[in-house]
Amino acid sequence: MKSTASPPKISLRHVTEADLPLLCQRAAAMEQRGEFESTRMSSPRSIHKRFAEDGFSSDDSEKLLVCAEDGKVIGDVSHFLAHRYATARELGWAIHDPALRGQGYGSAAAKALVNYLFDNFSINQVCCGVAPGNTASRRIAEKAGLRLEGRLRGVIFLRGEYVDSEVLGLLREDWQRG
């Protein structure tokens, strides 16, 4: 039975200097990472360096924080060039606290990111890659309007091995028809 509850209210915002301790903590919090998240850690120095360089916002990539209705940071979303030869943007998302997953925050964040991109960037497609078996992320992508386009074999390096990627995408014209 589908839930009739309205999706949680979230907002997206840029990273500020005050958020750097949270990002450093998140980079080391292996226990909060899901089965399909990378286990690669980032050093506090690299996080501070990236913030000093571009505030996690450039033409090539951008990280935005997901905030609950009370303003508390509960996750992040990102987008980056999907291919060197195209304007398509690849999407990513994470809800930090495992207790908050499965409550609609990821879907709300992904949908907000899709809307942000099509409203503000001259792009014709957004896409994401999902490891087969990652049904939660696939559902999030589908709720944001993306649909399966195909499979790339052995392109994601995850926890010491290469796995396939199911590619989901959404064209601007489909988004506009919404």
Q: What pLDDT, on the 0 to 100 scale, is given for residue 39?
A: 75
What is the set of domains in the chain, with CATH numbers? 10-177 (3.40.630.30)
1 pLDDT more than 60: no
Per-residue pLDDT reduced to its tens digit, 138-156: 999 999 999 999 999 999 8
Q: What pLDDT, on the 0 to 100 scale, is given for residue 4?
A: 59
Structure tokens at 8: 């949680």
HSE of 77, CA atoms in CB hemisphere, 13 A = 28
21 pLDDT more than 60: yes
Q: What pLDDT, on the 0 to 100 scale, is given for residue 159?
A: 86
The pTM of the full predicted model, rounded to 2 decimals, is 0.92
Per-residue pLDDT reduced to its tens digit, 75-90: 999 999 998 888 999 9
CA distance 140 to 53: 31
Distance of alpha carbon 45 from the chain centroid: 23
**130: number of Cβ within 10 Å:** 24
User: DSSP for 83-152?
Assistant: -TTS--EEEEEEESSGGGTTSSHHHHHHHHHHHHHHHHS--SEEEEEE-TT-HHHHHHHHHTT-EEEEEE
Contact 130, 138 (CB under 8 A): yes
Q: What pLDDT, on the 0 to 100 scale, is given for residue 33?
A: 76
Q: What pLDDT, on the 0 to 100 scale, is given for residue 2?
A: 53
Distance of alpha carbon 155 from the chain centroid: 18
Mean pLDDT of 93-113: 96
Cβ-Cβ contacts under 8 Å for 85 (sequence gap 6 or more): none
Tokens 């399966």 found at = 148
